[in-house]
Amino acid sequence: MDGGVVDRPFCPSRVWLLTNEHPGNRIQVTGLADALGWKYEVKELHFTPWSRRRRFLPFLPLTAGLDRRKSSPLVPPWPDLVIGVGCSTAPITRWIKRVSEGRTRTVQLGRGGGAVAGRYDAVITPLHCRMPPHTRRHEVLLPLNGISPRELQQARRQWPEMLQGAPRPVIGLLVGGDAARFRFSAEEAKTMASRVRTWAEQSGGSVMAVTSRRTSQAATRALQSVLDEPHRVYAWQAVKAANPYRALLAQADVLVVTGESESMLAEAAATTAPVYIYPVREIKTDRVSSRLREWSVTRAYACFTGQGQRRSLSGAVDAGCAWLMRRGMLRPRRDLNLLHEALYESGRARPFGDPLVTDPQTPLPEAQQAARWLKDVLRRSAS
């Protein structure tokens, strides 16, 4: 354009993905990178306990807590783009920007690492993490993942006889387990298995359950005691190839997912199967600190949305809470009820107990949408 700025696409020749030892984090960052379509190198990082103290000791060097002996090497030539995921990798993402003298573009995924969006070129966080609004932040409905038609077809080929002899419709039951705020006992697993079995048999179908790393042995045995032939239970095993989880995503007619698992909900929603959410008991806390935090988050959002009282003491409190939240010193807890309601509203999921529907659904293209947004952000910043 005459006298104007040429609008060039951002085409990085070197992309690094920073992840830690948590499989869920690696799934998120590689899911985004695959959707971007650029070649990348995964840098798996390991950390010492010092990394968990950074939040309270911000004066520590950005690389404090990084275990260089166990981690992938971080040496020049520096990448054109670095994408980190999780709280522990966030300082390393910023450190790479610093040592590259600002040439590396930085992207951070997740609630912990991306709490302060202004520290990066772009941040992507799920809606239910309730992060403060920012022009560099993109909110997705679910955590990103790498489930694609190609991945599902490959999983189908690896387990071609998985559904052989199973009465249809086959209900794929994806089972999580205990988490920070959720409990899934053997008795609750037995109740769930009985309810899902009855629900399936009313339509002449069967249940095929897969457990996860978080499912206790007692809960697994409870499932097996109820889901006998023609129903089946595949217990999680440490050897990845022995777990038919993705094959079930690809082949089940319907998916029922325990509601505490963000990653399984995200991957189920990326298929064409109807999704039902089974509730898991949440532990309610009466701690004063938790109640104070939630009250402060509510006041911060009153400031963000303009619903607070600006010319009063209440307005000053709202502004103070918003200031803390924008700087990562006040971090909301994840609200999975908000996630469930958003999925129901989108039409991509239903509460368990609703009538059984087997018609194929449109997958949620979360990673593809996030990739388009990110390419646009990087393109504009490169112009």
Convert the pLDDT of each residue in 121-157 to its tens digit.
Answer: 999 999 999 999 999 999 999 999 989 888 899 999 9
Q: At what angle do helices 262-269 and 336-346 cross, to 10 degrees?
A: 10
Give 170's strand partners. Answer: 206
| CATH superfamily entry for domain 149-282+336-363 | Glycogen Phosphorylase B; (3.40.50.2000)
Report pLDDT for 5: 53
Whether 171 contacts 207, CB under 8 Å: yes
Could you tell me the residue ranges of all domains in the chain?
A: 15-141+368-382, 149-282+336-363, 288-326
Token couple for 265: 């909900």
Please state the rounded mean pLDDT for residues 337-352. 97
Closest by CA to 19, choosing from 136, 113, 142, is 113
Residue 6 clears pLDDT 60, i.e. is over it = no
How is 185-215 classified by DSSP, letter by letter?
A: -HHHHHHHHHHHHHHHHTTT-EEEEE--TTS
Whether 85 contacts 19, CB under 8 Å: yes
Whether 313 contacts 288, CB under 8 Å: no
Same fold, 15-141+368-382 and 149-282+336-363: yes
pLDDT digits (tens, 9 = 90+) for 298-330: 999 888 887 655 556 678 899 999 999 998 889
Q: DSSP assignment, residue 86? A: S
Q: Which is more confident, 10 or 255?
A: 255
Please state the rounded mean pLDDT for residues 71-92. 96
What's the angle, vertex CA 285, arms to CA 328 and CA 289, rounded to 5? Answer: 45
Whether 10 contacts 375, CB under 8 Å: yes
Q: Is residue 55 very low, low, confident or very high in pLDDT (cuts 50, 70, 90)?
A: low
Residue 175 clears pLDDT 50, i.e. is over it = yes
CATH 3.30.1330 for the 15-141+368-382 domain, yes or no? no
Range from 48-62, 81-95, 156-170 carrying the lowest mean pLDDT: 48-62
Q: Which residue has the tokens 């920012």?
A: 134
